[in-house]
Chain A
Amino acid sequence: MTAQEQETIFRQWLDAHLGLMLKIVRGCTAAPQDQEDLFQDVLLQVWSSIPAFRGEAKATTWIYRVAFNTALAWRRRERRRRERHETFLKFDVSPQSQPSHADTLPEQEIVEQLYAAIRQLPKVDTSLALMHLDGLSYSEMAEVLGISENYIGVKLNRTRKQLAEQLKGASDEL
């Protein structure tokens, strides 16, 4: 793969899947500085994974895998601020900055509560919850996690119950 092709794919993925990467980052870390740091790591890992991308997997599945693997390896106590030569990222994930198309305040709050609840889950369940909320099929989730579709069903049941526990009040019946 030429550098030009790598750059083209990266630009396309940024256009199409930036939100997906950000959701994963917000689902895995709470503090804005941690989110920014992990987000940078995810971007760098996605970039360096592109030469291995042969188009056999869907881009979303690929990005989920790279982003989850990066998030799992990323640990707060080892966090080191990247030495940046120039600013390429303006990062504001405070709830107030959340733009919405007809989002009402309660809906924004629900999303924030969901993020908070997801962050309370065990790490592997976090990835499952994020994919489930994004509407991935069982087979796609199984492909990302490397476990069987049947087991995805079992784990999802458990994860939904845990989420419901966390979201008591916001949601009555998950």
Chain B
Amino acid sequence: MNFEELQKNWQAQRPGAQVTINVEALLREVRRNQRSFGTTIFWRDAREVAACIFMTALFLTWGIQQREWSLDFLALCCLGVGIFFVADRVIQRRKQPAKNQSLQMCLEDSLREVRHQIWLLKNVFWWYLLPILVGIGTVVASKLWHQRHTELTALIGLAVFYVVFYGLVYWGVYWLNQRAFRKELEPRRLELEALLASLK
């Protein structure tokens, strides 16, 4: 059998007849799905903004109540991280690829998105952990300074506790981010690069 005969067989199949679609129900479903997608995105962003506002307001209020400038500084650090996060989300959404672009462009855009996600996770220390660490460090340093007249061993104990506690929390957050990068994003990047290479 030559290719033309194969093609003829292929084109003679009527796969559409294997599917029965209730168009009215499908239309209701796609509309519902679209609404639900929009709602999911909205609430995801709203959650992040709300968390940022909450943390900022919380530390700011404490700072004002306790007349403690380091808490105000921590609030500012939280606000900075939140602004970076939201701004990045907005910029990335504007770069969202169109659904109808060519396969090559679609792959390039997907690769760009994955690389950006990888960049965010690989640099999570610089844009997320470090600013908040600086804020927390300032609060801890200020607390220790206020207690400088207490016994030296107690002071050292407190300092060690803070270092160990925040060290563990930070290590956990960093490890989770790097794991997501290694397990999910890196394989996806390699897959997309291979697909793109097969088009070139």
Contacts and interface: CB of A to CB of B under 8 A. Distances in A.
Given A57-B100, A100-B14, A135-B7, A48 B34 contact: yes
Contact of B100 (A44, A53, A103): A53
B184 to A, nearest CB: 9
Interface string A112-148: 0010000000111101000011110000000111110
Contacts of B152: none
B6 interface: yes
Contacts of B98: 49, 52
Given A43-B26, A135-B11, A174-B6, A88 B32 contact: no
Contacts of A132: 7
B182 to A, nearest CB: 16
A85 interface: yes
A76 interface: no
Contacts of B18: 22, 91-93, 97-99
A148 B105 CA distance: 13
Chain A binding surface, main DSSP class? helix
B10 interface: yes
Interface residues of A, number: 69
Contacts of A70: 99
A103 B25 contact: no
A156 to B, nearest CB: 10
B41 interface: no
B114 to A, nearest CB: 11
Contact of A91 (B19, B28, B105, B200): B19
B199 interface: yes
Chain B binding surface, main DSSP class? helix
A31 interface: no
A133 B10 CA distance: 7
Contacts of B33: 44, 82
Given A47-B30, A90-B19, A125 B2 contact: no
A167 B34 CA distance: 41
B66 interface: no
A114 B6 CA distance: 8
B109 to A, nearest CB: 10
B13 A100 contact: yes
A99 B199 CA distance: 35
Contacts of B106: 65, 68-69, 72-73
30 contacts: A10-B30, A19-B13, A22-B15, A23-B15, A43-B26, A48-B30, A52-B98, A65-B101, A66-B100, A68-B103, A70-B99, A82-B33, A84-B29, A86-B28, A88-B28, A97-B18, A98-B17, A111-B9, A111-B13, A114-B10, A123-B198, A125-B198, A132-B7, A133-B6, A135-B7, A146-B104, A146-B199, A147-B104, A147-B199, A173-B1
Interface of B: 1-3, 6-7, 9-23, 25-30, 32-34, 98-107, 110, 195, 198-200
Given A91-B18, A114-B6, 9 more contacts: A22-B16, A66-B99, A70-B99, A97-B18, A99-B14, A99-B17, A107-B9, A124-B195, A173-B1
